Structure 1
Amino acid sequence: MVDLQLLRTLRVLYVQGTVTATARALHMSPSAVSQQLRRLAAEAGADLLRAEGRRVQFTAAGHVLLRHADLLCSQWERAVSELAEEAGSPRRTLSLGGFATSIDTLLAPAARRLNQAEYPTRTFLQEAGTQECYEKLLAGEIDLAVLTPLPGGPPLDDPRFEQSVLMDDLMDLAVPADHRLATQSTVDLADASTEDWIAPHHDHTRLIESLCSASGFAPKFVHRADAWHAVLSLVSHGFGVCLVPRLVPPPRLDVARVRLRGDPPPFRRILVCVRSGTGQDPTIADGIAALRQQAQGH
């Protein structure tokens, strides 16, 4: 009988790439992770990994077991969810993660709704970027994530997750109030092709690069700032322009937010994501429903 914990460690290792990073993600010691992996290989009767420098590579047998691990872990999560529903007394705690602007506009209001429901849910929230959300879901640190898909990330049909569209967040072009485009009701994204650009946090910078590329140019990033208030401050002082999602609070008075043309206009897709097999858990399902209700107002 294979311990599901060993399979979970294998799945996290596949994402993290090293024993040290896997240990950090699972809050274990590297020696404990190595011991679990040796035990799993012994129980499987096959070599699952091979070392390549500091990283490990999965053998053909390792990939076979990884595929079955995804199925087995998903089935176990589904069984636990059905048992909770059958018992009529689901767990009433929920850990949620998401990017910064989703906390203020989606996660925190939805969590408050869950806290104040007839059968309250105790919620725990944390800020995390897209890749970090996927990693925390696999490690069991969060139950539900709000994220924006990125190039090279898990596709919607990734067997490890259940992902669905929560909303599409339209993007505006933020320019200084005295900018040549500030008085326009709508503009094409390509109208900003010769401007200096402000690069926000990593995930959003990649999205801007993708949207600008689709409009036929590469943005010239000159300045960088992670927090949106810092980005807008740089815009207001004339250091560049930036694409700003509608979920970001209204800009400063010295920043104009110009709408973009397109069919559809540029947007960032926002997903709700849980571990495969957990979507029917009553508490997680309530969390998804609360988020959908909150998203309808935006």
Structure 2
Amino acid sequence: MINLRLLQTLRVMNAQGTVAATARALNLSPSAVSQQLRQLSREVGAELWEPDGRRIRLTTAGCVLLHHADLLSAQWERARADLADHGGASYRTLRMGGFATSIGPLLAPTAQELREASPSTRTTVADIDTRHCYEHLLAGKLDIAVLTPLPGSPTMDDPRFDQQPLMDDYVDLVVPEGHPLAGRERVELCETADDDWISPHHDQSRLIEALCTAAGFAPRMVHHADEWSAVLSLISHGLGVCLVPRLVPLTTHPRLRRLCVGGDPPPFRRVLTCVRRGSESRLTISDGLRSLRARAALSPWT
């Protein structure tokens, strides 16, 4: 009989690419990971991986086993859901995570609602960027992730995950008070071609560059800040403009003006919920997803 824990190690190793990274993701030592992978090879009677420079890649046999491992994992998640619903457990844990600006309007209120509805359920929230969300879900460190897909993210039909649209977070142009466009309600992006820009964190910066390129110009990125609070501070001091998602509040910066950007539809980033495939039927997870959807449906930001 193949140990499901060994199959999980194979799945994480395929995602991480190295023994060291797999060990970090699973909170194991590299020697323990290597031992588990060797044991799995012995149990199936085939070589499952081979060196690829400094990384490891699956052999043909490894890819075949990985396909079945994904199917078995989804079925095991469904079995865990059935057991949880019928086993009468009095204490449950739900681990949620997502990008920073999803916590205030979505994850934190959802955690509070679930705690009040079921005091026996312990709900935790973590600030985790999209790339690490997928890794944490696969390693069993998260149950629900709220994320925005990026280039190279798992596709919607990836057998490891169940990803569902949650909301569209529209992106507005934010300018300082006194800017020539500040009195407008709606602008075209090409009108900012001569402005200095604030470059936010890498993923959002790539979105800005793509949108500006489509509008016919390359944005002149003069300043950079990773945190939205720092980006807004730079804008409020007249140092540039930036495209800012509506989930980012401007309440602490009264000298800023948020302007809708023209387009049909206007620019937005898609926000998804993501869970391990098969786990969506577990009671605590389905309650969390239901609460997030209800909150997003009533959202004033979309």
TM-score, normalised with respect to structure 2: 0.94
Please tell me whether the aligned partners of residues 250 and 256 of structure 2 are also in contact (alpha carbons under 8 angstroms). no
Q: For residue 128 of structure 2, what is the aligned residue in structure 1?
A: 128
| Partners of 1:120 and 1:265 in 2: CA distance | 43
1:287 maps onto 2:288 in alignment: yes
Q: 1:41 to 1:90 in 2, by over 3 A?
A: farther
Q: 1:209 to 1:155 in 2, by over 3 A?
A: farther
Please tell me whether the aligned partners of residues 90 and 283 of structure 1 are also in contact (alpha carbons under 8 angstroms). no
| Partners of 2:164 and 2:88 in 1: CA distance | 26
| Partners of 2:90 and 2:214 in 1: CA distance | 46
Q: 1:86 to 1:199 in 2, by over 3 A?
A: same
> How far 1:55 sits from its partner (Å)?
0.9
Please tell me whether the aligned partners of residues 129 and 203 of structure 1 are also in contact (alpha carbons under 8 angstroms). no
Please tell me whether the aligned partners of residues 91 and 120 of structure 2 are also in contact (alpha carbons under 8 angstroms). no
Map residues 221-240 of structure 1 onto 2, 5 A cutoff: 221-240=221-240
Q: For residue 74 of structure 1, what is the aligned residue in structure 2?
A: 74
* 3-state DSSP of counterpart to 1:159: coil
Q: For residue 170 of structure 1, what is the aligned residue in structure 2?
A: 170
Q: For residue 150 of structure 1, what is the aligned residue in structure 2?
A: 150
Please tell me whether the aligned partners of residues 144 and 274 of structure 1 are also in contact (alpha carbons under 8 angstroms). yes
Q: For residue 85 of structure 1, what is the aligned residue in structure 2?
A: 85
Q: 1:136 to 1:71 in 2, by over 3 A?
A: same
Please tell me whether the aligned partners of residues 173 and 258 of structure 2 are also in contact (alpha carbons under 8 angstroms). yes
| Partners of 2:9 and 2:219 in 1: CA distance | 40
| Partners of 2:180 and 2:267 in 1: CA distance | 21
The one-letter code sitting in structure 1 at the alignment partner of 2:81 is S
| Partners of 1:148 and 1:133 in 2: CA distance | 10
| Partners of 1:7 and 1:49 in 2: CA distance | 13
Unaligned stretches of 5+ in structure 2? Answer: none
> How far 1:88 sits from its partner (Å)?
5.1
1:266 maps onto 2:267 in alignment: yes
The one-letter code sitting in structure 2 at the alignment partner of 1:281 is R
> How far 1:140 sits from its partner (Å)?
0.4
* 3-state DSSP of counterpart to 1:204: helix
> How far 1:91 sits from its partner (Å)?
5.3
The one-letter code sitting in structure 2 at the alignment partner of 1:274 is V
Of stretches 62-71 and 207-216 in structure 1, the one that deviates more from structure 2 is 207-216
* 3-state DSSP of counterpart to 2:117: coil
Q: 1:56 to 1:85 in 2, by over 3 A?
A: same
Q: 1:90 to 1:130 in 2, by over 3 A?
A: farther
Q: For residue 250 of structure 1, what is the aligned residue in structure 2?
A: 250
Q: For residue 205 of structure 2, what is the aligned residue in structure 1?
A: 205
> How far 1:265 sits from its partner (Å)?
0.8
Q: For residue 159 of structure 1, what is the aligned residue in structure 2?
A: 159
Q: Deviations over 1:78-113 (max 9, x none)?
A: 111122223454752100110001011100000000
TM-score, normalised with respect to structure 1: 0.95
Q: 1:118 to 1:74 in 2, by over 3 A?
A: closer
Please tell me whether the aligned partners of residues 236 and 255 of structure 1 are also in contact (alpha carbons under 8 angstroms). yes
Q: Give the CA RMSD over aligned residues.
A: 1.6
Please tell me whether the aligned partners of residues 176 and 238 of structure 2 are also in contact (alpha carbons under 8 angstroms). yes
Please tell me whether the aligned partners of residues 164 and 272 of structure 2 are also in contact (alpha carbons under 8 angstroms). yes
Q: 1:241 to 1:71 in 2, by over 3 A?
A: same
Report how many aligned residue pairs link the two structures. 298
| Partners of 1:185 and 1:250 in 2: CA distance | 16
Q: 1:278 to 1:164 in 2, by over 3 A?
A: same
Of stretches 194-203 and 266-275 in structure 1, the one that deviates more from structure 2 is 194-203
